[in-house]
């Protein structure tokens, strides 16, 4: 059973960079796409982007200028960096496994709340 766990600071100051890591256990990070999805409090889901095991990325155009997703296959981890954050970036951030381009997302982490505030 694949399990994902997000880790990182729960509080980030405005204009700084949000950094989160997702650790994958119970399966290899190879041959799948690994996504970041967020959900502002009380609102809907927003796809941030994903990365394949070879490092190829696709980002949401609305966030593209501020997002970097990377992967470390040796550690079975992938990471999210979101720069120049504002209060609008306050959300629960989920890491998840996506089975392919356009495919379903079948395993999700529990999510971690990141608050942007001074």
- Enumerate binding residues for another protein (CB under 8 A): 35, 44-47, 58-61, 64, 94, 101-106, 108-111
C-alpha–C-alpha distance, residues 15 and 107, integer Å: 31
Collapse the DSSP code of 97 into the 3-class scheme (helix H, G, I; strand E, B; otherwise coil) and give the result: strand
b/e burial code for range 43-57 (CB count within 10 A of at least 16 → b): eeeebbbbbbeeeeb
Q: Closer to another protein by CB, 73 or 111: give it.
A: 111
- Nearest CB to another protein, comparing residues 42 and 118: 42
Which is nearest to 38 in space by CA: 13, 67, 16, 65? 67
Nearest distance in Å: CB 88, another protein = 17
**Residue 57: both structure tokens together:** 């990325």
Report, in Å, the least distance between residue 74 CB and another protein.
26
Q: Which is nearer to another protein, 19 or 58 (CB)?
A: 58
Residue 32 CB, shortest distance to another protein, in Å, is 14
């Amino acid at each position: 059973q694949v399990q994902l766990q997000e880790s990182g600071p729960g509080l980030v100051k405005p204009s700084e960079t949000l950094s989160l890591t997702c650790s994958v256990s119970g399966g290899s990070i190879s041959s799948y796409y690994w996504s970041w999805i967020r959900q502002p409090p009380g609102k809907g889901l927003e796809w941030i982007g994903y990365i394949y095991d070879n490092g190829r990325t696709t980002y949401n155009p609305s966030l593209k200028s501020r997002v970097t997703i990377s992967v470390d296959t040796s550690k079975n981890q992938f990471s999210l960096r979101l720069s120049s954050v504002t209060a609008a970036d306050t959300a629960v951030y989920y890491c998840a496994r996506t089975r392919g381009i356009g495919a379903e997302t079948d395993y999700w982490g529990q999510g971690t709340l990141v608050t942007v505030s001074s």
